[in-house]
Structure 1
């Protein structure tokens, strides 16, 4: 089975003024990676509740984050050949991705689609329980972009196998 490429973004918060702080992908071969993003000076929104979830501080972003143009070029290098990546939070992730590319002055050479477009009804019914089981089984640290992208990809693979198995019964 060919795995879909998954993309996940962690952000400074939700809603107006929020911006991407980490982007991660899980590639079709099952490998994953992520980059912290250095906030631009005009990106000032910071929600302490979001920081509690992802555990990434503003100081760490300033120290270890990559410039927005570098992250946008990396995403294009990674995803242009694939053409499409999937997100489980398309509304948020697409907004943050657009913001990143806009400020980088670069056009994305791929598109972001909603993960639910790939899921049939059986997979959707199995999704939540399967995802929770995989968090424990794989020891995934939630709310980090690379790990979350990998978790989504593994959940997709497992629910697809389970759904196909039940369809064969």
Structure 2
């Protein structure tokens, strides 16, 4: 099972603290494959907010984005290719928001819709206890947080554990 795919973003700050923009995105399929991209800020975000607190959490600096980040167009192209034939899910509405910000910055349509992970869990009729057990098992295997690839992989692992009846 290569799909569904889970998406996670890291951002310049949380929206509660200002006008944020996406700086990293990852997609992970439930088969274990994943991709992550650093996003070079576009000119339109030049005066948007940057939070030292967010940088301390994800460890991504502005200098790193300038030297190793990819263009928004490149990231969107590769994301669309990696997620083709997959239904994409996120555990937070903010991931849809940051995908929209990324697309709007380069005047592109969304490469795919982002569905809430709860839809998938309800569709399969997983119980609260099953979900809680899968979340805990995935956290034990992948404990690092606030890195897009790790967060997306943890979500994909949780789904895989549930679908395969391993919890």
TM-score interval, normalised by the smaller of the two chains: 0.7 to 0.9
Pair 1:51-2:69 in alignment:
no
Segment drifting more, 101-110 vs 49-58: 101-110
- Report matched runs for 1:100-111 at 5 Å: 100-111=102-113
Counterparts in 2 of 1:88 and 1:146: CA distance versus 1, 3 Å:
same
Unaligned runs of 5+ in 2: none
CA RMSD of aligned residues (A): 2.2
Counterparts in 2 of 1:55 and 1:31: CA distance versus 1, 3 Å:
same
Question: Paired residue for 2:43, among 28, 38, 41?
Answer: 41
* Aligned partner of residue 119 in structure 1, secondary structure: helix
- Report matched runs for 1:63-74 at 5 Å: 63-74=67-78
Spell out, residue by residue over 1:102-125, the C-alpha distance to the aligned partner (whole angstroms, 9 max, x if none): 112222232110011011464443
Counterparts in 2 of 1:60 and 1:115: CA distance versus 1, 3 Å:
same
Matches of 1:99 and 1:57, distance apart in 2: 19
Equivalences, count = 161
Question: Paired residue for 2:83, among 75, 79, 85?
Answer: 79
Counterparts in 2 of 1:60 and 1:2: CA distance versus 1, 3 Å:
closer
In the alignment, is the contact (CA less than 8 A) between 1:76 and 1:108 conserved in 2? no
